[in-house]
Amino acid sequence: MDNCIFCKIANHEIPGKIIYEDDICMAFLDLSQTTDGHTLVIPKNHYAHILEVDSQTLAHMMEVVQKVALQLQNQLHAKGFNIITNMNEVAGQTVHHFHIHIIPRYDQHDGFEAHYLDRSQDANLDDIYQKITGLK
């Protein structure tokens, strides 16, 4: 896709620090390096986000995520990972070419914070469940 920075990296039109590559996908270092080894896995074809990508490509990408995470664990001694994808601006997506972040974790104050608000006292679980499952 024209003007897509990740298509350009996938096509080797602009450089990237590539850790893994095959015919379907590629893993390269995220410029921001939230923590050391912060890596993105992208499909070579352009899909805007996770709901657009076909299931075969997605399954293959998750295998690559696992491989790269193992490599980061071995080489950088990461103690854990946050593996996330952001979909659309509302969720913080800034590059609209599907990608999976692999964020190695070294300790709980290493620069990345996943903060989930606890709404268990206020949320109506029954109501939400019924809406999702079509019972309401």
What is the binding site for Zn ion (CB under 5 A)? 1, 4, 6-7, 46, 97
Q: Decide: helix, strand or coil at residue 39.
A: strand
How deeply is 110 buried, as exposed, middle or buried, from its count of CB atoms within 10 A (0-12, 13-18, 19+)? Answer: middle
The verdict on 28 binding ligand 5GP (CB under 6 A) reads: yes
In angstroms, the CA 106 to CA 22 distance is 29
Q: Does 18 bind ligand 5GP (CB under 6 A)?
A: no
Residues numbered 53 to 112 that lie near ligand 5GP (CB under 6 A) are 86, 92-95
Catalytic residue check, 12: no
- Rounded to whole angstroms, the Cα distance separating 106 from 111 reads 9
Q: Is residue 36 a contact residue for ligand 5GP (CB under 6 A)?
A: no
Exactly one of 38, 97, 99, 101 is catalytic; which is it? Answer: 99
Largest CA-CA distance found in the chain, in angstroms, rounded: 51
The site for ligand 5GP (CB under 6 A) is made up of: 5, 16, 28-32, 86, 92-95
Residues marked active site are found at 99
